[in-house]
Structure 1
Amino acid sequence: MSSQSLRRWSWIHKWSSLVCTVFMLLLCLTGLPLIYHHEIGHLLGNDVEAPAVDPKVGRANLDEVIAAGRALYPNKIMMYMSQEADEPNIWNVTLGDHPTDEHYKPIAVDARTAKVITEPAFEGGAFMSTMFRLHVDLFAGLPGKLFLGFMGLLLLVAIVSGVVLYAPFMRKQDFGTVRHGRTSRLKWLDLHNLLGIVTLVWALVVGATGMVNTWADVLLKYWQATEIAEMLAPYHGAPPPTKLASMEDAVRLAERASPGMQVAFVAFPGTPFASPHHYGVYMRGNEAFSSRLYKPVLIDAQTGAITDHRDLPWYLTALLISQPLHFGDYGGGWMQFLWALLDIATIVVLGSGLYLWVQRGRAVKRHAQAVAQSGAPLATPALVRTGD
């Protein structure tokens, strides 16, 4: 690689890293507890568990489940109801003042008795809720998400440029070498490079999936403006439903139309995952991978008839795959542990990068002062050039 090309890549790596490092440190620090959000919620006693009942008790009618939730907030409307794959005895019912209410009320209802169990908090309580909002949008909504997405893009640029710079650097020494006994800066430079290469694939995966996740709102709006608009064309100009069809009948109809699948969640009319005229019943598979992919079944909210059902477009499929992959939710405890270790290693990479930048600035300043005192011509010190 020519010296001019090396300088160009060095400039790209330097500034892409400097711009995104502080925010990436924030995301790594907030992401670490989020990897274990289920476990932290359990330790803090925020888990919702279904009470023991007679095994002979069957499944409650879904209309009764909805009625139990609405009884707590009669002035609010239904937004969603969902079930976790590992907790089929609980329906999570969500109510709000309007279909897109961000201050919704979550209610856990027993799926067998249709009795309210509790009003759960976010897993881990206020601390985990704060970590989640900082990690997702910096408490700034869509602008915050898109800003963090741009920081994720800069991270990918920094990783690629770092790999380009690392190749010629490693020709001079064995892989994994950490030089001791010279200067603290060189030791941290070697450690920074080593950990950067070790965490390369993970950082690319997490950075790319995190960037995709920040586009969720935009992708949903695009889906609504294209495929959903196409599915709703026959309802153009039609008045909204005056009476909603039975949810029990709607879900059973969706199950018959999607053999081998089970209900993941139901979106009520007006919410982003439905339409003003439909229930959106989202089915999922039973395997570890297929359980992350949804198949929407649109059901006329007034007549209870299926109007359309089709697979999600590729970009929403990519979004659904990237969300659990971002937090290591696919492989159980061992994958979570690996994700946590790599997260900590990335924190060291980011922190050492900041340290090296500060130390380099100090070295340049000391060199300039020494030159000024000696009256010698100004030259770049070898310490600043070596390994950068």
Structure 2
Amino acid sequence: MEIHDHNMMQENMYHKAFDYSSVWDYAETGADTILNKYPDKVVRAVSVQPEEGRMLYRVQDKYSKKLVDARLSMGGEQIAFYPDTAALQNWHREDVKSQFIAQFMHEMHVLHMYMGFGKGGMIFLGFMCLLSFISVVSGMFIYGPFMKKNRFGKIDNRTSSAKWFGWHKFLGIATAAWAALLCFSGVMIVIFSLGYGSYISSAKAEAAKNMSAQVTADNIGLPAAISFINQQFSKDYILSVDMPDKKLNHSRYVFYMTPAKDRPTEFMGQLVFVGADAQGNMQYYTKELPVYLSAAAASLDLHVHNHDTLALKIIWAILDIITIVVIIAGFAGWWKRAAKVNNTSAKSNFSAEVLSNQNIWLMPVWIFGLSVAGMVLPLYGAAGNMEGSAAWTAAFVLCFWQWFRKKQQ
């Protein structure tokens, strides 16, 4: 995000922030502004990013026969509208300092999400996250037996392979809770993405079956539909809305609603279909979200929304680097495993006594607890960001202190 913001032209970076309630007051203004400038376009969907002060309009050529379905669709073109200045910005052609950096960051995003292979790539990455989660958890289970005579933080220097494995175990435990939660949330994101697509399909089918064919949105405008939905769902926010389309939603508005809170899960919304009969009486139909989808969506926060500050981003970058070292150390240790680990001429780092489970697990448990706090606390606002940063700092200090103390012995 910092690279993206640094690459943006300064005049495009700062706009007045809105909340989810007030930003929708400008929905029709934004649509009119876009259609006045691009009379050959038609608006298919509207979504909002109020914290950034913008509304995103998915548009399509007026006479195009290509179906552009739902706000999460990759089809169509998006135009950003900024209510504070009435400015328009093609969302896929931002004014940037370097097109190369912008394209590079986009490609990295696509690789991270889909490996460039769409849904198949996302499923593959989810499977790899599952394998990684199993690897981390199983590594924690076998950690104890390997540490019967070697205290946490003590690196066995008797052979090259033992040294690599020592670092692998030490740094692996230091990052275990973070890596496990990150991998688990990655799996849940894939489950959410696949399940949410299924939910959208079933909700549309049920709406078509349960709503009268005469209930359409042909005779109501977007502001009236927004006002109606706000009255019916006063405790919810509107994330986005699909415009009426005969083929896609039987000429009804499709609203994506989420419970009102400080930081809504912007990727998910409960579908609400809105139309009116010939007399202008407004009606709606909705399908409840499955419980498992709400649980899976909560994992998004652990993966995306708990490192918003620069300090936390630096901490996560350090954790990424340490994890890479853990992987390299594991490979290097196995590569050198043929070395004689019982070389009596080498200095022994082993403790004379067999350690108890309490001695083996005391420090790791403290680090696990601080790591979980560092993952969860930032989800609770500015104070949580500071507390989370403090928890991560304490975990790092504890690891360094233990390693330094054992090195001196």
TM-score higher than 0.5 here? yes
Structure 1 residue 339 and structure 2 residue 329: aligned?
no
Identify the match of residue 278 of structure 1 among 245, 252, 255.
252
AA aligned to 1:109 is F
Aligned to 1:264: 239
CA contact (8 A) 1:269 1:279 kept: yes
CA contact (8 A) 2:203 2:287 kept: no
Q: Specify the SS of the correspondent of 1:177.
A: coil
Q: Deviations over 1:107-151 (max 9, x none)?
A: 1113356x3421134887212211111001111011111111111
Structure 1 residue 166 and structure 2 residue 143: aligned?
yes
Aligned to 1:230: 206
CA contact (8 A) 1:60 1:112 kept: no
TM-score (norm 2): 0.66
CA contact (8 A) 1:327 1:336 kept: no
Q: Deviations over 1:218-240 (max 9, x none)?
A: 2123213444433432248x499
Aligned to 1:253: 228
CA contact (8 A) 1:59 1:111 kept: no
Query: 5+ unaligned residues in a row in structure 2: which ranges?
Result: 18-22, 61-65, 95-100, 344-349, 351-409
Aligned to 1:81: 46
Identify the match of residue 120 of structure 1 among 76, 91, 96.
91
CA contact (8 A) 1:327 1:339 kept: no
- After TM superposition, give the deviation of residue 41 of structure 1 in Å: 2.0
CA contact (8 A) 2:217 2:244 kept: no
Q: Any residues of structure 2 matched to 1:364-375 within 5 Å, and which? A: none
CA contact (8 A) 1:277 1:301 kept: no
- After TM superposition, give the deviation of residue 383 of structure 1 in Å: 6.9
Aligned to 2:362: none
Instruction: Give RMSD over aligned pairs.
Output: 3.6
AA aligned to 1:119 is N
Percentage identity across paired residues of the two chains: 25
AA aligned to 2:257 is M
CA contact (8 A) 1:62 1:248 kept: yes
Structure 1 residue 63 and structure 2 residue 46: aligned?
no
Aligned to 1:15: none
CA contact (8 A) 2:162 2:341 kept: no
CA contact (8 A) 1:300 1:307 kept: yes
Structure 1 residue 94 and structure 2 residue 58: aligned?
yes
Cα distance between partner residues in 2 of 1:341 and 1:240? 56
Aligned to 1:184: 160
Q: Specify the SS of the correspondent of 2:74.
A: coil
AA aligned to 1:234 is N
Aligned to 1:156: 133
AA aligned to 2:27 is L
Q: Specify the SS of the correspondent of 1:86.
A: helix
Q: Deviations over 1:62-108 (max 9, x none)?
A: 223213224455454433322224134x2121224532462432211
- After TM superposition, give the deviation of residue 318 of structure 1 in Å: 2.8
Q: Any residues of structure 2 matched to 1:125-136 within 5 Å, and which? A: 125-136=102-113
Cα distance between partner residues in 1 of 2:50 and 2:16? 17
CA contact (8 A) 2:216 2:274 kept: no
Instruction: Count residues with an aligned counterpart.
Output: 319
Q: Deviations over 1:327-362 (max 9, x none)?
A: 3446644443433332222122222223233334xx
Check 1:59–1:171 CA distance in 2 against 1; reply closer, same or farther (3 A cut). closer
Cα distance between partner residues in 2 of 1:257 and 1:63? 20
CA contact (8 A) 2:217 2:276 kept: no
Q: Any residues of structure 2 matched to 1:294-313 within 5 Å, and which? A: 294-300=269-275, 305-309=282-286, 311-313=288-290
Q: Deviations over 1:156-209 (max 9, x none)?
A: 1211221122110011211121123x3332222111111111211111111011
